[in-house]
Structure formats: structure tokens, C-alpha cells
Amino acid sequence: MAHLGPGKAASSKEQAGLRYPSNGKTIYHRPLNRSKTAELSQASFAYLFSEMVSYAQRRVTGIQELEKRLNLQGHPIGLKLLDLLLIREPPRSQTRPLTIIALLHFIKINLWTHLFGRQADRLEKSSNPDTPDEYMIIDNEPLVNAYISVPREMSQLNCAAFVAGVVEGVCDGAMFPARVTAHSVGGKEEGEMWPGKTVFLVKFEPEVLEREALIGKG
Amino acid sequence: MSYYFVIIGTQDNPLFEYEFGTSKQGGDGQAHFTELARHLNQFIVHSSLDIVEEVQWANGQLSYLKVIDKFFANYISCFITGGNVKFLLLHQPTATATATGAGMAGGGSSGAATSTRSSTSVGANPTSPQTEEAIKNFFNEVYDNYVKAIMNPFYRVNMEIRSPVFRQRVAAAGRKYL
């Protein structure tokens, strides 16, 4: 570890490279359960998120790459939220999701409520028999897209790729490796009710389905 | 009674290690593993990972998997977090340890003296409900602190936990419950 003041005798103190905050409180002194009043202003979030998008937009060559970067920004958040949300559950229902359905319910209810203050709108399994590994989480109006207008030439882009990354992080953390992508479907079906409607397509890896079948038998 | 506690990441990589002894029944809070046993402990714990993977999908829904493995006098308890990070606790009851001759070398007389006293202690019977409850409380407290550790925005999953505050917290939990 590099010490900032090479001239000073830093080795005399143990852990010389480590600084504590002046009030002596570290992350370990803070409670984990401050969930009720910990809401964030939407304006500040929208500002931060717009900066995140423009940061991701630097040095990318295409929309796919941009979405990939947004996805990567969300991924570690998902990994961490999984543990945080589980520990905030009451002890009775503090259970790891062991099946795909339990995991998707956890995402639809707990994760969405924590992030956006409401549940996701719908959960669907792919009706196509060729893709039994695909599930869809549907959000009619993603909060992250509230103040984002996509230029016409980039109409493929959906910035909810960030949320898809969070969902992917939760799936990966729970040992359900998956690829999650966000797709805009607003305006294509059932009228113009929800123009911002977004489908999060969750495609699980084959080994997840294999394990699921084994557990179902046992 | 000596304990060896280790946190294993999702790639079977160790994140945190801590050795301690019981503080109940006049224990000194120090681990009494021999130099040989200390190396062996790592192998024992590592081999129990296979069993963790077997039971983690079958064994109900609880995060706490109780005693999952036994190697002579060494019992392994496991707790698995939502992110599939494993907490493993190897515990070695003093009484059986002296009987089988594993561990407690160099302290044979004191080991015999404590074994009579510790027969009623928390750890004397590794599968009793009291012991399981104590270990569960220990794991829950460590889990609490582990979640705080991963809340650190500079911490990525599967990084080694180096925080001295975390170590103190684990030590305190060990003193409190085991």
C-alpha cells in the first residue's frame, strides 16, 4: 500500500495507510435497517443517472456497447442488493431464493419496491416452446427513463439497460447465471397506453434449467 | 474448545480467516490448535465445500445449514449468504480432542483440566440445540457485519476483507456467543 507521506515514519503505527473518519464512525457503526425514510429525491437521481449515461456514452462505438456499459454499471449493485434486501426481511422469511420462480418474485416484489417504490407490473414466461429459459419482467413506466428522450437515430437504445444490469447482478449472485436485456415495446401493442413500456428479458443459462429440473424431481 | 472461522467467496476463494477459542467457562479466548492442525484445518474446511454445494439446494430454505461435515473431532458448521458466500466454522470440542489425541498438544495437562470443566459448556456437544443456537447467533452477527462490509462502494464481491474493524467485530461476536 502506498503511503502518502514517504518522509514520515508511517510504519510506527499499525495500519498506517488506513484513515478513519474524524468522528470515529465507520460503515460498521451504521445500522442496516434504515429503509423507511431513506428515499432519494427523483430530481437528484435523474441528474446523476443522466451523467452516468453520458459517461457510458464516451468512447463507445455503438448502441450495443453503450447498453453493455450501462449493464456493467448496474451489475455490482445487484450483487450487493441481494444480500442487503435479504437481511432486511423479517427473520421468518429470510430465505435464499432456490427456484427460478422464487427468484423472479423476489426481483419483482422486493427489488422493485426497494428501488422504485412499487412492484414491477408483470412477470411472464416466454410462450415460445423453443426458449423455455426466457422470462420477462415488465415495467410499464421505468423510473430511470422518466426524463430520457432517445434520439430518433438511436431508437434501439433503452437506458433501462442499467436496471437490467441490476437484475442480472441479483440473478448471478443467487447462482442463477443469466443474461438480462431491456427492450422498449411501448406503442407496438395494445394501444398507446404505456409508451415507455419496457420488457426485461431474462435468459437463464442452460445449467440453471438443468438444476431446476433435478430439484423438482428430488 | 478452539474455533477456526473462514469466509469463502463464490469462486471457492478465502475472503477472511480468523482463529479463536472459547471465552465461556473460563476459556482464554485463544485457539489451541497445533501448528500441524492449523494447516490441516484449511484442508478440512476446503473439503467440506463439496458437501455445502450438495446441501445448499436441498436443505430447506434456511441460510443456516448447521453441522454439515465431521472429520474426526472437527465439526464444520456452515452458513450461506444470499450471494452464495459461505461462512464456515470449524469447531473442535476439547474433550474429544484430547481423547483422540488430535490437537491440544503442548497443553495436554491443561487440556485435561479444562475438559472436565467444559463438559457443560456450549461447545462440549457440537450437535446439541444449545450449541446450534449459539453458532447461529454468531453467524447472524457476522452476516450483519458482512453485509455492511459489502455495502462499501469500493468493495467488490469476492475481494478479501481486510478491515480491522470487521475483524474486531467478528472477535466480539466470538466472545459473546461461543
pLDDT in tens, A82-123: 988 888 887 777 788 888 998 999 999 999 998 888 899 989
Specify the 3-state DSSP secondary structure of B74. Answer: strand
Residues of chain A found within 8 Å of residue B82, distances taken between Cβ atoms: 82-83, 85-87, 96, 173-174
For residue A87, give the chain B residue with the closest CA.
Answer: B144
For residue A88, give the chain B residue with the closest CA.
Answer: B144
Specify the 3-state DSSP secondary structure of B60. Answer: coil
pLDDT computed for residue A70 by the predictor: 93
CB A161, CB A215: distance < 8 Å:
no
CB B42, CB B51: distance < 8 Å:
no
- Cα separation, A179 vs A172, whole angstroms: 9
Q: Where do we find the cell 412499487?
A: A118
Burial readout B128-158 (b: 16 or more C-beta within 10 A, e: otherwise) = eeebeebbbebbbbbbbbbbbbbbeeebebe
* Residue of B37 and B106 predicted with greater confidence: B37
At residue B68 the predicted structure's pLDDT band, cuts being 50, 70 and 90, is: confident
Residues of chain A found within 8 Å of residue B156, distances taken between Cβ atoms: 76
Return the CATH number at B117. Answer: 3.30.450.70
CB B144, CB A87: distance < 8 Å:
yes
Average pLDDT of chain A, as a whole number: 83
Judge whether B157 is closer than 8 Å to chain A, CB to CB: yes
pLDDT computed for residue B72 by the predictor: 80
Q: Which of B82, B156, B165 sits opposite A174 (nearest CB)?
A: B82
Residues of chain B found within 8 Å of residue A79, distances taken between Cβ atoms: 83, 150, 157
DSSP-assigned letter for residue A27: G
Set of cell numbers at residue A143: 423510473
Q: Quick one: which of A153, A130, A144 has its CA closest to A71?
A: A144
- Cα separation, B67 vs B134, whole angstroms: 12
C-alpha distances (whole Å) from A131 to each of A40, A127, A170, A208 are 38, 8, 21, 13
- Cα separation, B87 vs B65, whole angstroms: 10
Q: Quick one: which of B144, B90, B51 has its CA closest to A88?
A: B144
Task: Express each pLDDT in A27-48 by its tens digit.
Answer: 888 888 765 666 788 899 999 9
A162 pLDDT more than 90: yes
As to burial, measured by CB atoms within 10 angstroms (0-12 exposed, 13-18 middle, 19+ buried), residue A185 is middle
Q: pTM score, two decimals? A: 0.81
Burial readout A50-60 (b: 16 or more C-beta within 10 A, e: otherwise) = eebbeebeeee
Q: Which domain holds residue B76?
A: 2-177
Task: Express each pLDDT in B119-143 by its tens digit.
Answer: 445 556 777 788 888 888 899 899 9
Would you give the end-to-end CA distance of chain A in angstroms? 50
pLDDT (mean) for A53-71 = 90
Q: What is the largest CA-CA distance in chain B?
A: 50
User: What whole-number percentage of chain B has pLDDT above 70?
Assistant: 78
| Cβ distance of A28 and B169 shorter than 8 Å | yes
Q: Quick one: which of B101, B105, B99, B172 has its CA closest to B142?
A: B172
- Which domains, ranges and CATH numbers included, belong to chain A? 64-216 (3.30.1380.20)
A13 pLDDT more than 60: no
- Cα separation, B105 vs B148, whole angstroms: 38
Interface test with B, best of A28, A176, A215 (most B CBs within 10 A): A28
* H helix intervals, chain A: 42-57, 63-88, 100-105, 112-116, 161-173, 206-217
As to burial, measured by CB atoms within 10 angstroms (0-12 exposed, 13-18 middle, 19+ buried), residue A188 is exposed
* Residue of A21 and A65 predicted with greater confidence: A65
Q: What are the backbone dihedrals phi and psi of residue A2, each rounded to the nearest 5 degrees, phi first?
A: -80, 130
At residue B145 the predicted structure's pLDDT band, cuts being 50, 70 and 90, is: very high
Domain count, chain B: 1
C-alpha distances (whole Å) from B177 to each of B42, B123, B138 are 23, 10, 6
B100 pLDDT more than 50: no
Q: Which amino acid is at A201?
A: L
CB B149, CB B70: distance < 8 Å:
no
Specify the 3-state DSSP secondary structure of A13. Answer: coil
At residue A132 the predicted structure's pLDDT band, cuts being 50, 70 and 90, is: confident
pLDDT computed for residue B37 by the predictor: 84
Q: Where do we find the cell 490441516?
A: B40
pLDDT (mean) for B76-97 = 80
For residue A78, give the chain B residue with the closest CA.
Answer: B83
Set of cell numbers at residue B57: 439446494
